[in-house]
Structure 1
Amino acid sequence: MNRIATVDALNRRNIGVGSSACGLCEEDEESVEHLFTSCYFASMLWTLISNWCKCLPMVVFSFRGLIEIHNHVGLDGKKKKVLKGLVRIGCWSIWKMRNNARFENKEVKLEYIFGEVKKIGFLWFKSRNKNVETTWVDWCKFVNL
């Protein structure tokens, strides 16, 4: 986990990257823990995903806890596996938004991050479950999986 090139990790390697503020919220120092668990945008993304998946709230305090959260939110079977994938896609989407904000000065939009999770998640789910007919409408309802 110390391999993710957040500002704090780069600073530890004596690579100066300017501001140490989070690339999303600009309120705290950017670290893996902050970016994926305590940043406002990450916290809100996990809340949106919890509501969408109709599972217990995803309250996490560490990156490791986030990666294992699918075991603790009351889902089982296929839905549990899907949530595991969605968390990973969520992390990727957060990272992409962080890079867009930091390097291209793009505005951070929670709706965009969540939309990416749903879109990429749908493509991932369809490619992993070729024998299952899931439409975009069913995917957006999640409970019909």
Structure 2
Amino acid sequence: MDDSHDEWIWNDGRSEGFSVAAVKKWMQGSATTGGHFGFTWSKWVPNKCNIFMWRAYLDRLPTKMALLRRSIQVDNCLCVWCDCSEETIEHILTGCCFSTDVWNAITTWCRISGIYAFHVKDLVDMHDYSGLVGNRRIVLHGIIIITCWRMWRARNEKLFSNKDPNVIEMVADIKTLGFLWVYFGL
């Protein structure tokens, strides 16, 4: 029998001991080596929207398919809007005909070329490839987050309150929230 004790050791390949700063340096170093750690939070949208987008990015939202993966029974696994495809976060935010109509309206309003996204990561990175600079790029990033959050709310309203979504009303709501939050947050 060995009388030694177990211990946790922080080893990031450097001689530093454990510290939050060492973890931050390690994480930043891994992001520059080709891995994308996450997404950039928008400073002018509420934290609830940023947290939602982060959870969507990690596929940690309770879509019907996510619930089935966790062995939670659901009535059916089809999208509540189109009733054609399995309900995943990618389908809700990028693949459904309803979300496509919303994105078309948003791109027209923002005066950018069409948003062609197949995954949540595409949405998270969209502002980087929009061609916009400065505050316009920062605002677009927030608008994308608000749009995704508002679509998730519309999905929940349909699922739990049987409220049919309306593209025009949703885009008006996104514009209103965007103007209010950018005015008070940026």
Q: Between Structure 1 and Structure 2, whose CA radius of gyration is higher?
A: 2
Within 5 A, what are the aligned runs for 1:23-42? 23-42=80-99
Tell me, yes or no, if the aligned pair for 1:24 and 1:97 is still in contact at 8 Å: no
TM-score by length of 1: 0.85
For 1:37 and 1:103, the matched residues in 2 are separated by: 21
The residue number in structure 1 matching 2:71 is: 14
TM-score by length of 2: 0.67
1:121 aligns with 2:121: no
Instruction: State the number of aligned residues.
Output: 129
For 2:81 and 2:149, the matched residues in 1 are separated by: 14
Q: Which runs of 4+ in 1 moved over 3 A?
A: none
The gaps in structure 1 that reach 5 residues or longer are 130-145
Within 5 A, what are the aligned runs for 1:1-145? 1-129=58-186
RMSD over aligned Cα atoms: 1.1
The gaps in structure 2 that reach 5 residues or longer are 1-57
**Larger RCO (CA under 8 A, 6+ residues apart):** 2
For 1:10 and 1:106, the matched residues in 2 are separated by: 22
For 1:37 and 1:95, the matched residues in 2 are separated by: 12
For 1:65 and 1:116, the matched residues in 2 are separated by: 23
Q: Deviations over 1:44-78 (max 9, x none)?
A: 11111111111121111111011111111221111
SS of aligned partner of 1:68: helix
State percent identity of aligned pairs. 34
Q: Deviations over 1:68-96 (max 9, x none)?
A: 11111221111111110001000110000
